[in-house]
């Protein structure tokens, strides 16, 4: 990996690995314990030791099948641990509609750009109660001490269990809801994910399983593209970190206004095609991830490192998806006098679109895609033929309208064009 592609965490951890001979110690002893004070000499430990997704792990960790877990407030353990769990969204699950109560004015359901705002909304309109069919009270959130417990975790190299002792580490709960029979712990993400750090549910689960008699239920919630997705889990063995099993998934949305084929055709028929931007044609196949990125930028401006370190993007993907946002005219890049790095923010048009109610927002996003000539021509054929054109046809359209792209690159860009047109079709409810 070249220096230009390394994050601040990559560089700092490489120095720590060399200074403390961490790879040698893991090979010799099975793990390595490192003090927060030692990490802080390179960079703040709070920025260096929390990796919500596997892709966020520093390169030297991923290359050597390593991960890191806190064992107290001032110490971490590094080893060949299997710390993350893959998440698979079931596209066949019905999305349950919920009406937004007319009496609530302090929640703007068109602007749920943070985990806390999405959780507050889900609770106050009754989604959390519907999850388990019981009335709940919102009782817990924030940081707290784990107290003491021990557990086993899979060593991903040796395929055997490794024992870890935790004493008064810090854990954080996005929200805890209590009903007559259950205590529901929720870890929330305001974007779609491929995996998550089990620790974010496991440490709070172990803490509260000792504190109360009710059944503690760990739940992951994601809020992406205006859909609340809840993954309800259970730990089959309380002392086994890797025993987390999915029980069911439930999806919800607010006040849905269905997008009909006639709505999209109306947008298409009124499109004013613009010249292809001087920005390169994107390599960002999943348009729903672009929607998530736009939503994240609605809350605050972000640097490349902010996006790469905190969300489910590696550095290359961060470049691809921010460029895609620039291509459609909804993201812009600037530099500040304080931070000598590029910063990304929404354009005024992007901010305006993101604040609209869902149906209008998605129709505007469809418009932003189709006003680009390549996408317009491919979608025009899609409407005529009743299906997305084959690869060779799409590649020919790209070649004729983007002479700056060579044959090898065109084949890669095909997946973006096909993916975005497919996303448009998925918005049509009839």
Question: How far is Cα 332 from Cα 345, in angstroms, rounded to an integer?
Answer: 6
Q: What's the distance, Cα to Cα, between the start and end of the chain in Å?
A: 47
Mean pLDDT of 248-274: 93
pTM for this predicted structure: 0.91
Domains and CATH numbers, the chain: 3-80 (no CATH), 86-254 (no CATH), 261-427 (1.10.10)
pLDDT range class, residue 308, cuts 50, 70, 90:
confident
Question: How far is Cα 368 from Cα 106, in angstroms, rounded to an integer?
Answer: 30
Does 277 score more than 90 pLDDT?
no
Mean pLDDT of the chain: 93
| Under 8 Å between Cβ of 424 and 379 | yes
- Which contacts (CB < 8 Å, 24+ apart) does range 207-210 have? 207/144, 207/145, 207/146, 207/147, 207/149, 207/171, 208/140, 208/176, 208/183, 209/238, 210/147, 210/149
Neighbour-count burial of 311, counting CB atoms closer than 10 A to its CB (0-12 exposed, 13-18 middle, 19+ buried): buried
Name, in order, each residue with C-beta under 8 angstroms of 316's C-beta and a sequence gap of 6 or more: 5
Does 157 score more than 90 pLDDT?
no
pLDDT value for 325: 96
Q: Name the nearest CA neighbour of 332 among 308, 363, 297, 364.
A: 297
191-216: per-residue pLDDT in tens?
999 999 999 999 999 999 999 999 99
pLDDT value for 3: 52
Name, in order, each residue with C-beta under 8 angstroms of 379's C-beta and a sequence gap of 6 or more: 268, 370, 421, 424
Neighbour-count burial of 207, counting CB atoms closer than 10 A to its CB (0-12 exposed, 13-18 middle, 19+ buried): buried
């Amino acid at each position: 990996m070249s220096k230009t592609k390394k994050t601040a965490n990559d560089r700092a951890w490489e120095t720590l690995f060399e200074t403390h001979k961490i790879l040698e110690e893991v090979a010799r002893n099975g793990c390595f314990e490192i003090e927060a004070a030692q990490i802080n000499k390179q960079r703040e430990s709070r920025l260096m030791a929390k990796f919500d997704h596997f892709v966020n792990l520093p390169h030297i960790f991923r290359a050597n099948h390593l991960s890191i877990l806190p064992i107290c407030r001032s110490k971490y353990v590094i080893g060949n641990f299997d710390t993350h769990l893959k998440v698979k969204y079931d596209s066949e699950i019905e999305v349950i509609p919920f009406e937004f109560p007319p009496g609530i004015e302090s929640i703007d359901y068109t602007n749920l750009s943070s985990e806390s705002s999405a959780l507050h909304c889900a609770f106050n309109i009754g989604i959390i109660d519907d999850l388990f069919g019981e009335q709940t009270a919102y009782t817990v959130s924030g940081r707290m001490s784990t107290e003491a417990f021990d557990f086993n975790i899979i060593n991903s190299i040796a395929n055997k269990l490794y024992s870890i002792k935790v004493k008064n580490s810090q854990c954080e709960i996005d929200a805890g809801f209590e009903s007559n029979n259950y205590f529901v712990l929720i870890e929330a993400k305001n974007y779609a994910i491929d995996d998550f750090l089990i620790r974010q549910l496991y440490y709070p689960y172990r803490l509260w399983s000792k504190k109360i008699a009710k059944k503690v239920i760990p739940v992951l919630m994601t809020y992406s593209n205006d859909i609340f997705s809840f993954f309800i889990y259970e730990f089959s063995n309380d002392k086994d970190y890797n025993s987390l099993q999915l029980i069911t998934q439930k999806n919800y949305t607010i006040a849905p206004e269905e997008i009909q084929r006639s709505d999209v055709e109306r947008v298409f028929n009124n499109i004013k095609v613009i010249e292809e931007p001087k920005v390169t044609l994107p390599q960002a196949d999943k348009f729903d991830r672009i929607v998530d990125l736009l939503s994240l930028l609605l809350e605050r401006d972000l640097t490349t490192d902010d996006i790469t370190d905190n969300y489910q993007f590696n550095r290359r993907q961060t470049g691809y998806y921010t460029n895609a946002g620039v291509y459609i005219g909804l993201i812009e890049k600037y530099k500040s006098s304080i931070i000598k790095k590029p910063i990304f923010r929404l354009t005024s048009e992007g901010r305006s679109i993101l604040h609209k109610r869902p149906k209008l927002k998605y129709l505007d996003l469809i418009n932003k895609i189709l006003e680009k000539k390549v996408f317009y021509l491919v979608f025009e054929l899609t409407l005529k033929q009743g299906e997305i054109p084959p690869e060779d046809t799409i590649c020919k359209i790209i070649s004729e309208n983007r002479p700056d792209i060579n044959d090898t690159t065109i084949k890669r860009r095909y997946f973006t064009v096909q993916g975005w047109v497919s996303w448009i079709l998925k918005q049509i409810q009839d």
